[in-house]
A and B are shown apart, each in its own frame.
Chain A
């Protein structure tokens, strides 16, 4: 597929701890996205990036921050994790050009106790 690797694949942590999830892509795609997937809600956009150091908020951005210092890496940080952030997190990428399709990684399963 689009050569997207997410790490870690699984993580269990405690409320109040910081957590960083990493998305790495090998396709040189310009745009990158973070979504979360929860039962009863489907996939929802958290943050996205339209270039190095260029990011913006999505639908459910509260409690999350992102950074993109290189084209290939997009980091999602939970500064102080809460139980409501227990979810499966997916990274997606799309190439430059209008209306290109998004391709997804295999997700990070995050549990916050």
Chain B
């Protein structure tokens, strides 16, 4: 079993819909959770960065973490064609005092239909 599972999609929804993207993980040491957006032939762009359980909102984006279920979600409200991209979840345990690599899901390809 991979440490982080993410449905690769593609997920296709009409413009204006609410999008739900999800990841599950197996390592209970993970405490920091991130969502990145990646457009074709570009690098991952940080969207949301959360610590432990709960919700965090930023504009049309809401990140949700449920540590008891080892499940994280990203919700996109009022989706736009410009939201079409691959969304990567990433996570890590608390830092040991220095650099830490991230563990990524494989990414979900999202298509917003105009």
Q: How many residues of B contact A (CB 8 A)?
A: 28
Across chains A and B, the number of contacting residue pairs, with CB separation under 8 Å, is 64
A48 touches B99 (CB 8 A): yes
Q: Which of A31, A49, A104, A109 contacts B44 (CB 8 A)?
A: A104
CB-CB contacts of A11-30 with B at 8 A, as 1s and 0s? 00000000000000000000
Q: How many residues of A contact B (CB 8 A)?
A: 30
A99 touches B42 (CB 8 A): no
Expressed in whole angstroms, the minimum distance between the Cβ of A87 and any Cβ of chain B is 14
Expressed in whole angstroms, the minimum distance between the Cβ of B40 and any Cβ of chain A is 11
A31 touches B98 (CB 8 A): yes
A103 touches B99 (CB 8 A): no
- Chain A neighbourhood of B25, CB < 8 A: none
Interface residues of A (CB under 8 A from B): 1, 4, 31-33, 35, 40-45, 48-50, 56, 58-59, 90, 94, 98-99, 101-107, 109
